[in-house]
Amino acid sequence: MHPVDLLFLIGIAIIVLIAVVITLIIFRKRRKLARIIVSIIVGSYIVFFAIYPTIRSNIHAQRYDGLEEYLQNTYPTEEFYIESRDYDNVIQLGDFYVSNKSTPNRGVVYRVKKGGEIIQLEGSWQKYH
């Protein structure tokens, strides 16, 4: 899991903890109702924590498909290698290293943003063997 994702989940856990404390204070005399509400809140967080990596991977895969379609429409005669297909291998969600098949050791970095906007980041990369 990426550090940014971990910090996000820790932030959500703090919010959940605050909600639990407030619930226990408000429903001090109705312990059974308080336990039910706390169980629902904590259970929801556990489910969210479990499915969060899958959500991020699916978003990354959708952005990969968008970039692939963009490259096919923009450069119909060219073939490309697109690295960082898996979310686990990237630093930021939506970053892809793209190289032409004729020059696989040189390429550029594309970022696919939330709305589907595709931009080429400054600079290029080169593999050294």
Domain with 33, as residue range(s), is: 3-126
Question: 44, 73 in Cβ contact below 8 A?
Answer: no
C-alpha dist (Å) from residue 78 to 26, 64, 84: 64, 17, 19
Query: Hey, what's the torsion of the CAs at 122, 70, 80, 127, to 10 degrees?
Result: 20
pLDDT of residue 129: 47
pLDDT of residue 17: 94
Residue 43, both tokens: 């259970």
- Which residues does the chain have with pLDDT short of 50? 129
pLDDT of residue 97: 84
Please state the domain count of the chain: 1
